[in-house]
Amino acid sequence: MARLSLRGIKKRFKATEVLHGIDLDIGDREFVVFVGPSGCGKSTLLRLIAGLDPISDGEFTLNEKRMNDVPPSKRGIAMVFQSYALYPHMDVYENMAFGARLMGLDKPEVEARIAEAARMLRLNELLQRKPRELSGGQRQRVAIGRALVRKPEVFLLDEPLSNLDAALRSEVRLEIAKLHRDIGGTTIYVTHDQVEAMTLADKIVVMNLGRIEQVGSPRELFETPANTFVATFIGSPK
């Protein structure tokens, strides 16, 4: 079970406020997609949820427990970055084991979890390779696998497809949709691509300039956009 609640979330970098009060509820097992133009605050919000940056104002709860001051490794939340962020000197196995060990899991448990993630993501043949010996799609699968071994209740993905070419994009996109169904957790996915949002989401959150413009199903946003911004953004796939 993973229910997230964001109340009046603000983020300031020095004197500049970039999130102006985000209110949002996310239900268990939902696949929620954040969309919005570059610079609107999507990655910042994800980093606050993951605990990688402190919240300036407001409250974030996970299953009714206040998370504001809980360290990242204790939140039950794992994040996958656009740039993969793999450790270059470690092989695939070590990359996947690293976060699991930080959680304090013993060796057999780490091994079992890596075996399961490798099976799900078809990484078995690649476990001894270094990141530089992998294609972009393989690297992104490793980054997803590394998050998976932590068995997070909440999966955060920040533009996971943007460094992949078109063919790989649809392959990894399907992979992510399947994982969400198989794991039964809650997925929060960021993209600036309307088509990705419309095909993946149970619920879309449209952001602009540090605020939420509208929340709704793909169909609701398409048929009854709240304002011109939403209508233009959702209605104009690149």
- Binding residues (CB under 5 A) for Mg ion: these are 43
**Backbone dihedral angles phi then psi of residue 190, each to the nearest 5 degrees:** -110, 135
Of 41-49, 92-100, 111-119, 166-174, the segment contacting ligand ADP by CB under 6 A is 41-49
Verify binding: residue 38, ligand ADP, rule CB under 6 A: yes
Q: Are strands 16-26 and 4-13 parallel, antiparallel or unpaired?
A: antiparallel
Residue 232 class from Cβ within 10 Å (0-12 exposed, 13-18 middle, 19+ buried)?
Answer: exposed
Decide: 214 and 206 in contact? Cβ < 8 Å: yes
* Cα-only R_g, the chain: 18
Which residue in the shown chain puts its C-beta closest to Mg ion? 43
Using the rule CB under 6 A, give the single segment among 32-40, 91-99, 105-113, 211-219 that binds ligand ADP.
32-40
Residue 43 is a binding residue for ligand ADP (CB under 6 A) = yes
Answer for which of 1, 13, 66, 232 binds ligand ADP (CB under 6 A) is 13
Q: Is 15 in the site for ligand ADP (CB under 6 A)?
A: no
With contacts defined by CB under 6 A, name the span among 40-48, 72-80, 110-118, 136-144 that binds ligand ADP.
Answer: 40-48
Q: Can you tell me which of 42, 141, 146, 150 binds ligand ADP, judged by CB under 6 A?
A: 42
Q: CA 47 → CA 19, 101, 106, 126, 128, distances in Å?
A: 12, 22, 28, 29, 30
